[in-house]
Amino acid sequence: MNTKHTFKLNNGVEIPRIGLGVWKVKDGQQSIDTVAYALGQGYRLIDTASFYGNESGVGEAIRNSKIPRDKIFVTTKLWNTDQGYDLAYKAFNKSLSKLGLDYIDLYLIHWPSNDLDLIVDTWRAFEELYKAKKVRVIGVSNFKPIHLDYLLKHTKIVPAINQIELHPYNAQHETREYCTEHNIAIESWSPLMQGGKVLEDSLVVSLAKKYNKSPAQIVLRWHMQNELIVIPKSVTPSRIDENFKIFDFELSDEDFERLNLLDRSKRIGPDPDGMAMRLYGSLSRTIISIKKHKR
């Protein structure tokens, strides 16, 4: 049984295999209490984003913990209105200041832009932040093979992670195959399909009874056995505890494959193509022109 709690990325850095997502967790006391509780229960990966608006609370909880900084893996993300070389640099420093940390462990481009050259320009800023050791790992989020392929052809550093919506109802085989081929780790957001029906699926419910686990634990164990990193979100202490207890059992090969067959390409979040179109359309001409900026 694979009980290893970390996953080695393509640059040698190890990331915890399960972390806490804080999307929609309110800044201030709720984010401070939620992150503090998770850290107290053994979580060492915290995933936030500038768009979430709670970097300050997340950072305060981390700083107030008695856990050495190098034992906590902190992720944040660049929003699309900050894409482009200069704006990405400024946004990174703003996130770093809000978090109140000396460095960020993982920095992601939150969504792809329809302007592939703009993504490349953004990534060049990421590469320089990485070389300056202001961030330990750089990656992307919600990228499809078409976005990744263009990025890899026009930049030097291969993203270490692609964070995508992934759960048994949306297994993302094409993107996963591409990432495996290029040694890019996959991190699952909404691994439990929050607001969806996967936890009520008859197969998931029956396996929960069989293994004496919760439906959420069955689904998260499926992620583990697919060699995925997961960041389930919760503010409820009992669920935070439950989500972390997935290393003491293993799904049989037969049950694992049955869960693999649940895929129906069903998203609960936006398709990256449509999201990119909306975000790209909101960018000003000034931001778009940054891709032409000569450094």
Measured between alpha carbons, how far is 140 from 143 in angstroms, rounded to an integer?
7
For residues 34 and 66, give the distance between their C-alpha atoms in angstroms, rounded to a whole number.
16
- In angstroms, the CA 52 to CA 78 distance is 11
- How far is residue 128 from each of residues 135, 186, 221, measured CA to CA in Å? 9, 23, 36
Q: Which amino acid is at 199?
A: L
Query: Burial letters for 158-189: b for 16+ Cβ neighbours within 10 Å, e otherwise?
Result: bbbbbbbbbbbbbbbeebbebbeeeebbbbbb
Q: What is the token pair recorded at 253?
A: 């090969």
Helix (H/G/I), strand (E/B), else coil: 41: coil
Which residues carry out catalysis?
A: 52
Are 52 and 78 contacting, i.e. CB atoms less than 8 angstroms apart?
Answer: no
